[in-house]
Structure 1
Amino acid sequence: MQELISENEELKRKIDFLTNIPGISFKSAATVVGETLGFESIVNTKQLASYAGYDIILRESGNFKGKTRISKRGNSHIRAALHMPSMTCVRCNPTLKQFYNRLKPNKAKPLVALIAVQRKLLILMYTLWKNEEVYDAKFETKKQQKHEALAARDNKLIAQFVS
């Protein structure tokens, strides 16, 4: 894999965007890119999640309320390639660790929260690949601070109109 990727400069550069994510190895990134053909025919994140089998299936009929689960109808190689990296990300990636810890108490099994991390990781990889950006660990905190600043500004405007 390394030999093939090192021959193509653009592919090598884009794989580097993915390997900058804490917990993602070269092998995992190359497998995901290979299985999706470089995200060539993927239009949006919903389509990608469905292609990988991470879309949610709800089983209910009439009064019967079944359990929700992932469909697993998609590419099993992508899910297998993201299993171990998701476990690593939960330990060393602060953003995904916080996401996992928020979901874990609400789920019956910790594996359900881990699968949500896998889906989020796949979408993150897709976004970095398409936008050709390097992973920013502080992106979520910057985004949250921006929303808080906008909310504070809106509260000031509302206070001015009220008084």
Structure 2
Amino acid sequence: MEIEEEMRELINESSELKRKLDFIMSIPGVSFISAATIVGETLGFESIANAKQLTSYAGYDVVLRESGTFSGKSGISKKGNSHIRAALHMPSMTCVRCNPTLRKFYLRLKPNKVKPLVALIAVQRKLLILMFTLWKNETLYDARYEEKKQQRSRPLLHRITN
């Protein structure tokens, strides 16, 4: 509890940091501790240029393990920051329950995977990219964003088919 209070005091000293942290915490299922840990471990995403670089930094990049005639399994590299992966574990489980967008994503992946944990790791990666996007764009989370995006693209399809 003392550490959390210290974290809050440090963040409250900077109004810009507090404002930007609120963008990340607008995602249902993401707590103050998780958001602050991610921002702290990435130094406020200052040296990260894009989502691919971020996923590689966190160790969520996919690697294929094979050599010669041996064909192994693919999985995440785990060569990145383990603190980020640990900080995203519980929020991803919460998001699967209460975040409609990430829940759909998880339920779509889960039947295709051997273990449900693989789908949960995909949710963690997507959640990290979402945090990065909200931080960089300085916008609040919009649960209806995907629906709005699909509605905007439909008129183009309609014009092409006519």
Query: TM-score, normalized by length of structure 1?
Result: 0.93
Q: Deviations over 1:36-89 (max 9, x none)?
A: 000010011111001000000101223322100101111010000000000000
Quick check: 30-39 or 56-65, which moved more?
56-65
Alignment of 1:8-157 (within 5 A): 8-156=14-162
Task: Provide structure 2 residue ranges, at least 5 long, that are not aligned to the other structure.
Answer: 1-6
How many residue pairs are counted as aligned between the two chains? 156
**Structure-1 separation of matches of 2:157 and 2:53:** 32
Displacement of 1:101 after TM fit? 0.4
Q: Which runs of 4+ in 1 moved over 2 A?
A: 61-64
Q: Superposition RMSD on alpha carbons, in Å?
A: 0.8
For the residue of structure 1 that corresponds to 2:72, the secondary structure is: strand
Provide the identity percentage: 74
SS for the counterpart of 2:65 is strand
Greater Cα offset, 142-151 or 116-125: 142-151
| 1:160 aligned residue | none
Cα distance in structure 1, aligned partners of 2:96 and 2:108: 11
Point out the more displaced range, 64-73 or 13-22. Answer: 64-73
- Give the match's secondary structure for 2:64: strand
**Structure 1: stretches of 5+ with no match in the other structure:** 157-163
The structure with more radius of gyration: 1
The C-alpha deviation readout for 1:130-154, integer Å capped at 9, x for no partner, is 0111111000111112222221121
Q: Deviations over 1:87-143 (max 9, x none)?
A: 000010000000000000000000000000000000000000001111110001111
Following the alignment from structure 1 to structure 2, what is the Cα–Cα distance between the partners of residues 149 and 108?
38
Q: What amino acid is the match of 2:46?
A: E
Where 1:137 maps in the other structure, the secondary structure is coil
Report the residue type matching 2:159 in the other structure: R
2:53 alignment partner, SS class = helix
